[in-house]
Amino acid sequence: MFRWGILSTAKIGVTAVIPAICNAENSVLSAVASRDLAKARAVADRFGAPHAFGSYDDMLASSDIDGVYIPLPTSQHVEWCLKAAEAGKHVLCEKPISLHASEIAALQRARDTNGVLISEAFMVTYHPQWLKVRELIATGAIGRLRQVQAAFTYFNKDASNMRNQLSLGGGALPDIGVYPTVATRFVTGKEPVRAMATIERDPDFGTDRYASVRADFEDFELTFYVATQLAARQSIAFHGDKGYIEVLAPFNTGKYDHAKITLHDASHGSSTEYNFGNVDHYCLEVEAFARAAQGEDVEVFTLENSVLNQKLIDAVYRAGESGNWETV
């Protein structure tokens, strides 16, 4: 069994990833760390973990864990990924793993030097609905792909929330803009060459609260908008010359809606639905990561993939400033 340590008691860890670890067939929750030992002990007791630590460093020094999940604020991801790798621990880090593509090279060196796995936690790439979309596009079900359109929004004006704090890596693009980009790249196997964007920042927080993006993949375009101060919405469609694919709840299945994709023909005269039931993509992610960390040949999200995705986000920010196309 792969022994997990959770580095912080952040909400996504407690509500999504720790339950996934507890339900995974090849994993066990061994330890929880927090800068507040009482908080760590409370979460550890709640989920039956035998160990609790009052500092992150103490947990990384422990021989009772094989790897860690890091759900810290984005601005701290690189620092603690490096520390975990140097301690010989495998690392699953919440997205985005870095705010700049150039910072990921240090993680690649740490991975290779210490012989550990470091992976960015894009749970969507483990969900069977996305594997099906990838298959349909690859087999020509919609013909030549020409346009991908997506939206991901929610409303949050809480000044204490890290998503609204620039110093912690807040903003719409780091938090949710990475999903349309990674999903499109995942199912097409293609990379963008340039990007254009309009970005609006909150006058008080300084974070990007709205972004409208156009990314040129040469063979097709990706257009999407993300926002932290609009009514909640998720959608994505892949439009080809022989049909199109709609994904009902692309990024947070079960929260925005259930997992279903619909394949429409060119005339819109018939359609095929694919339903995926109550799939926990966090559990699939945890299981795949544990197998890969233990040496199995399993597809996981690599740091090389992280570099490519963040390069697009970096180009989007530059385009928002310049008002011009920016090379990815």
Question: Is residue 282 within 8 Å of residue 12, measured between CB atoms?
Answer: no
- Give Cα separations from 144 to 136, 139, 198, 243 (angstroms): 12, 11, 28, 9
Strand order in the sheet with 51-53: 51-53, 27-33, 2-7, 67-70, 90-94, 118-121
The tokens describing 267, both together, are 């005339």
Task: Report the C-alpha gap between 143 and 118 in whole angstroms.
Answer: 36
Residue 54 CA from chain centroid, whole number: 27
Q: Which of the following is catalytic: 11, 39, 89, 95?
A: 95
Q: 260 catalytic, yes or no? A: no
- Give the integer Cα–Cα distance in Å for 143 and 54: 55
Tell me if 195 sits within 8 A of 214, measured CB to CB: yes
Host H or E run for residue 6: strand 2-7
The dihedral through the CA atoms of 184, 72, 209, 248 has a sign that is positive
Residue 300: closest CA among 159, 91, 68, 113: 91
CA 68 – CA 2 distance, rounded (Å) = 10
Sheet strands (E) in 103-184: 118-121, 145-155
Active site (catalytic) residues: 95
